[in-house]
Amino acid sequence: MYNLQEQIAIVTGAGSGIGRAIALRLAREGASVVAADLDGKAAGQLAKEITDTENRALAVEMDVSVEKDVERMVKEAREGLGPIDILVNSAGTGTTGLILNHSVEDWEKNMAVNLRGTFLCSREVAKGMILRKKGRIINIASISGKQGEEFIGGYAASKFGVIGLTQVLAKELARYQIRVNAVCPGYIWTPMWENLAKWFRGSFPSLAEKSPVEIFENRVKSVTPLRRPQTPEDIAALVAFLVSEEARNITGQAINVDGGAVMH
């Protein structure tokens, strides 16, 4: 267990999936959690689940790609719980299909949520961290941000950007004792992967009879040395370590949790 008592963490995209698992893990480690999500109902349910365990939590409905929403989220977090010690940028989205068929709207959606959202939240939270000369920022990137993946071009490009932004922030904020790292998940069954599997099934006749889950599982086995998918809890475990004092000398890194699929 990591001692995160008296720490206050913002987790974006906390309403479901990886973000939800991270928020629950940080709460279990003793942190007070601001659950931020576009789905206010899901964020509220998560916050209640945390407060039912006698931990402090606050739900905020917001869009990470909207500057005023980000400013409001941070203001409500500080007023409701206190100064922010931890930020986890987990909100994300993804579109599928050949890059040549990407619409400008699809491209901009990936960039707005995945990259601009990470920038806006990091910039706003870092202001308070700089004044206190302490803090940890974790950006959820992807192995697709290290090795471009076909059929998810806009998503991959945005995640390359997240890793680059992580490195810049780590260098600029280190003088204030603020650590910034990225976590790169591998193959986790998500709505984006379900959409991609459906696209595969419709685009390749040899896959027409397979279910989306079968397509996903076959992909995992073919490219992952450990031959198993990852879980949101796997990602949350690394995040908990990276925000703890055990990782006090780790910054500017993009660490894979992918069963060995990408080894750099």
The model's pLDDT over 201-248, given as tens digits with 9 standing for 90+, comes to 988 889 889 999 999 999 999 999 999 999 999 999 999 999 999 999
Give the residues of the chain that fall short of pLDDT 50. Answer: none
Residue located via tokens 């992967």: 193
Q: Give the model's pLDDT for residue 218.
A: 94
Q: Is 183 helix (H, G, I), strand (E, B) or coil?
A: strand
3 state DSSP class of 34? strand
Q: Indicate if 176 belongs to the active site.
A: no
Q: What distance in Å separates the CA atoms of residue 104 and residue 102, rounded to the nearest whole number?
A: 6
In a domain, 262, yes or no: no
Residue type, 83: P
Say if 2 falls within a structural domain. Answer: no
Task: Say if 82 falls within a structural domain.
Answer: yes
Alpha-carbon distance values, 108 to 128, 161, 233 (Å): 29, 13, 29
Q: Is residue 53 part of a domain?
A: yes
Is 235 found in the same domain as 216?
no
**Does 205 lie in the same domain as 75?**
no
Q: CA 195 from chain center: how many Å?
A: 19
Cβ count near 195 (within 10 Å):
16
Same domain? For 199 and 141 the reply is no
Is there a single domain that holds both residue 129 and residue 247? yes
The continuous run of DSSP H or E covering 88 comes out as strand 86-89
117, 195: one domain: no
Residue 16: inside a domain: yes
How far is residue 159's CA from residue 114's CA, in Å, rounded to a whole number? 7
Question: Contact at 8 Å (CB) between 261 and 219?
Answer: no
| Side chain identity, residue 124 | E
145 and 206 housed in the same domain: no
- Answer for the pair 60, 43: CB distance below 8 angstroms, yes or no: yes
Separation CA 243–CA 35 (nearest Å): 17
User: Residue 45: inside a domain, yes or no?
Assistant: yes
Cα separation, 131 vs 129, in Å, equals 5
Spatial separation of the C-alpha atoms in residues 43 and 195, rounded to whole Å: 24
Q: What is the pTM of this model?
A: 0.97
Q: If you search the block for the tokens 């889950």, which residue do you land on?
A: 213
pLDDT of residue 1: 82
State the pLDDT at residue 183. Answer: 98
Structure confidence at residue 40 (pLDDT): 97
- Are residues 205 and 97 part of one domain? no
Instruction: Give the domain range for residue 167.
Output: 8-186+230-257
User: Are residues 38 and 113 part of one domain?
Assistant: yes
Is 3 within a domain?
no
Choose, from 2, 155, 176, 187, the residue flagged as catalytic: 155
pLDDT, residue 243, reads 98
Indicate whether 38 and 73 sit together in one domain.
yes
User: Quick one: which of 215, 217, 222, 193 has its CA closest to 96?
Assistant: 193
211 with 234, same domain: the answer is no
Do both 172 and 199 map to the same domain? no
Ramachandran assignment for 54, one of left (phi > 0), alpha (psi -120 to 50 degrees), beta (any other): left
Q: Are residues 239 and 221 in the same domain?
A: no
In a domain, 224, yes or no: yes
State how many domains the chain has: 2
User: What 8-state DSSP symbol labels residue 145?
Assistant: G
Q: Residue 43 maps to which CATH number? A: 3.40.50.720
Q: Please tell me the predicted confidence (pLDDT) of residue 83.
A: 98
